[in-house]
Amino acid sequence: MDTAEFQKIIWVCERRPDSLSNGVNRVIETNDPYYICDFIVAFKDRLKKDDIKKFEDAMIEIGDIDHMYEFMYLLSDIGVEGFDKERFEEIIRTSDNPKLMMYSLGFVDGIDKEKMLTALYETKNAKYIEQLSTDIEYSELGIKDRPEYEEKLKEAKEFYYFPKCLEKFKTEDNEIADVVKIVGQVMKLNGNTPSQIRNKAYLINVLANYTQYLKEYHKDKYNTKELEQMSGAVEYLKFAEAITARNEPLHLYEFAASVETEKRKINRRSYTIW
DSSP 99-138: HHHHHHHHH-TTS-HHHHHHHHHHHT-HHHHHHHHHSGGG
Q: Is the pLDDT of residue 263 over 60?
A: no
Q: What is the pLDDT of residue 170?
A: 76
Question: Is 39 strand, coil or helix?
Answer: helix
Q: Is the pLDDT of residue 110 over 70?
A: yes
Between 269 and 76, where is the model more confident?
76
Q: What is the pLDDT of residue 153?
A: 98
Percent of the chain with pLDDT over 90: 86
| Across 14-19, average pLDDT | 92
- 154-201 tens-digit pLDDT: 999 999 999 999 998 876 666 677 888 999 999 999 989 999 999 999
Contacts of 153 (CB under 8 A, 6+ apart): 126, 129, 130, 133
- 211-229 tens-digit pLDDT: 999 999 999 989 899 899 9
| Across 99-108, average pLDDT | 97
Q: What is the pLDDT of residue 269?
A: 46
Convert 184-207 into a string of H (helix), E (strand) and C (coil).
Answer: HHHHCCCCCCHHHHHHHHHHHHHH
Domain ranges of the chain: 3-158, 165-258
Q: Is the pLDDT of residue 262 over 80?
A: no
Instruction: Please check whether residue 100 is in contact with residue 138, taking contact to mean a CB–CB distance below 8 angstroms.
Output: no
- Which residue type, as a one-letter code, is found at position 29? E
Could you give the angle at which helices 113-123 and 85-93 cross, rounded to 10 degrees? 20
Q: What is the pLDDT of residue 26?
A: 97
- The per-residue pLDDT of the chain, averaged, comes to 92
Percent of the chain with pLDDT over 70: 93
Main-chain dihedrals φ then ψ at residue 239, nearest 5 degrees? -70, -35
Instruction: Please check whether residue 254 is in contact with residue 268, taking contact to mean a CB–CB distance below 8 angstroms.
Output: no
Contacts of 31 (CB under 8 A, 6+ apart): 58, 61, 62, 194
Q: pTM for this structure?
A: 0.91
